[in-house]
Structure 1
Amino acid sequence: MERKVSRICLTSEPNIIHFLQISWEKTLGSGFVITLTDGQSAWTGTVSESEISQEADDMAMEKEKYIDELRKALVSRAGPADTYKFNFSKESAHFSFEKNLKDISFRLGSFNLEKVESPAKVIRELICYCLDTIAENQAKNEHLQKENERLLRDWNDVQGRFEKCVSAKEALETDLYKRFILVLNEKKTKIRSLQKLLNEVQELEKSTEHERESATCSKMTADRDAVYDESTDEESENQFDPSVLIPATVSKDDSIISIPDVTDIAPSRKRRQRMQRNLGTEPKMTPQEHQLQEKEKLDSSLPETLKKGHISAENMSLETLKNSSPEDLFDEI
């Protein structure tokens, strides 16, 4: 059987302390026994489940909510001290209690009590219950204190282990950081060496390619110079006095002897054509060749009598024969 003893002050006698005891078997809603005493007299009464239900219906409140309000008012005494007010009339032995909400108060319940013939017994039971409760609470307190001490020791042990773990963690992090720095520096050194080697290889490739291009260009230049020198040598061999290219204008007063000698350029032109075919290039017409062709055309346009006179004059004139070359003599024959 559960009990709850509390101190209350009645509205009619605020200076006198009364003790209120509530006891129940299963739950507060299934019924309870109320006992009230002022230390000299005692009153008691039993509240049934039906009476609790009737009070809830009179207040138009759900039963569970009404039982919760009874627990707050009679057992736990939750809230401020002036939240609940108690009234008791010794003549009628009528007990009632109210709840204050700001300026409004409403009655929670009222019960009829009976006066106890031997209040000393009731008071003795209250004192015994209070002492038992105190002893029980002291035992619980001691147990809680021991449990608290145990938990404090465990906490200190855990805190010590935690500090050791933190120290080990910091030492491990420091060691790992040092190792990481060493590995990182090695990697950086290796990367720098590889990058330097790569730059050297690239520079070597660039220099090799530049040398190859320079050699190719020099070879092509040498080939062009050789071809140019050969063509220039042939042209220089075939060059002759510009005075020979002067066209001979024939008039009635001009002498046959005054006609200059004409050099045939056919053999040298044939050699040049053969050389150009060997070089794989088409023959080009130089200004000198162009003048020689014009000279040949001019010679072909001369009268036959002039040519015959020119031949007889060359035969007769020793000076002309001396000035003539063997090739010119061969061509004339």
Structure 2
Amino acid sequence: MERKVSRIYLASEPDVVHFLQVAWEKTLGSGFVITLTDGQSAWIGTVREAEISQEADDMAMEKEKYVEELRKALVSGAGPADTYKFNFSKDSCHFSFDKNLKDVSFELGSFNLEKVANPAEVIRKLICDCLDTIAENQAKNEHLQRENERLLRDWNDVQGRFEKCVSAKEAVETDLYKRFVLVLNEKKAKIRSLHKLLNEVQEPEKNMEHERETTTHSEVTSDRDAVYDESTDEESGTPPNPSVLAPGHRRKGHDLISFAFF
């Protein structure tokens, strides 16, 4: 059975400390046993599942949500100290608790308790339950501490391995980079050598082609000049040199001149 003890203050006795214990078998919604004591007297009561369901229906709440509200009020003590107000009448043994929402307060639950004839036994059992809970929590704490130390050792080991992997990775990357630089330089040298060889092969061909182009151009220029000279002589109409004329032609002209004078 799971138990939870909390310290509460009643609205009718705000200066008196009361201890409230809630114990349940399966879940809080399946029913629980509630014990209240002020250190001198004790009251106990059993809340069944049907009563919890009826309270949820009366408040128009889903059962799961209502059980969560019960847990906050009676078990976990969630929220500010003034969120829940506890009331208990020692005459009627009626226990109730309210929830405060700003300026609005409503009753969250109410149960009928019975006064215990031998409160010392109940208080003694309550103290034993508290000590058992403390011992159980201490054992859990020690287990968690050992587990935390183990996880810390594992983490340090993993971190050491990770740092070694990082160092090995950097060394591999440096080696690969050096090899890449060597291969790249060899490829560059080979490309330069091939370019030089290609230029040496293409240079004679370029010279021969240039000579052929020069020769062809000279021949074309000579032919063009000759044709130009001939066309220039024909168009100018320059008379031939008299010294190269035939003797017959010269005498005939002389006779014509003489005839004209006579």
TM-score range, shorter chain: 0.7 to 0.9
CA distance, structure 2, for counterparts of residue 129 and residue 37 of structure 1:
14
Shift of 1:2: 1.8
Other structure's SS at 1:248 match? helix
List alignment gaps of at least 5 residues for structure 1: 226-239, 255-333
CA distance, structure 2, for counterparts of residue 109 and residue 221 of structure 1:
124
Give the aligned partner of residue 104 of structure 1: 104
Give the aligned partner of residue 58 of structure 1: 58
CA distance, structure 2, for counterparts of residue 140 and residue 124 of structure 1:
24
Give the aligned partner of residue 131 of structure 1: 131
Q: Cα gap change, 1:112/1:216 in structure 2, threshold over 3 Å: closer, same or farther? A: same
Other structure's SS at 1:34 match? strand
CA distance, structure 2, for counterparts of residue 213 and residue 26 of structure 1:
109
Give the aligned partner of residue 265 of structure 1: none
Give the aligned partner of residue 252 of structure 2: 248
Other structure's SS at 1:131 match? helix
Other structure's SS at 2:252 match? coil
List alignment gaps of at least 5 residues for structure 2: 226-242
Matches within 5 A, 1:37-186: 37-186=37-186
CA distance, structure 2, for counterparts of residue 133 and residue 99 of structure 1:
28
How many residues align? The count is 242
Taking structure 1 as the reference length, the TM-score comes to: 0.66
CA distance, structure 2, for counterparts of residue 60 and residue 125 of structure 1:
37
Other structure's SS at 1:159 match? helix
| Structure that is richer in strand per residue | 2
Structure 2 counterpart of 1:195, one-letter code? H
Taking structure 2 as the reference length, the TM-score comes to: 0.82
Q: Greater relative contact order: 1 or 2 (C-alpha under 8 angstroms, separation 6 or more)?
A: 2
Q: Cα gap change, 1:224/1:98 in structure 2, threshold over 3 Å: closer, same or farther? A: closer
Structure 2 counterpart of 1:115, one-letter code? K
- Deviation string, structure 1 residues 169-219 (Cα, Å, up to 9, x no partner): 111111111111111222222222222333333333211211233455567
Other structure's SS at 2:99 match? strand
CA distance, structure 2, for counterparts of residue 224 and residue 36 of structure 1:
134
Q: Cα gap change, 1:108/1:247 in structure 2, threshold over 3 Å: closer, same or farther? A: farther
CA distance, structure 2, for counterparts of residue 74 and residue 224 of structure 1:
123
Q: Cα gap change, 1:64/1:217 in structure 2, threshold over 3 Å: closer, same or farther? A: closer
Percent of pairs with identical residues: 79
RMSD over equivalenced CA pairs, Å = 2.7
Shift of 1:25: 2.1
Bigger CA drift: 196-205 or 177-186?
Answer: 196-205
State which structure, 1 or 2, has the greater radius of gyration over its C-alpha atoms: 1
Structure 1 counterpart of 2:115, one-letter code? K
Q: Cα gap change, 1:25/1:217 in structure 2, threshold over 3 Å: closer, same or farther? A: closer
Give the aligned partner of residue 233 of structure 2: none
Q: Cα gap change, 1:25/1:216 in structure 2, threshold over 3 Å: closer, same or farther? A: same
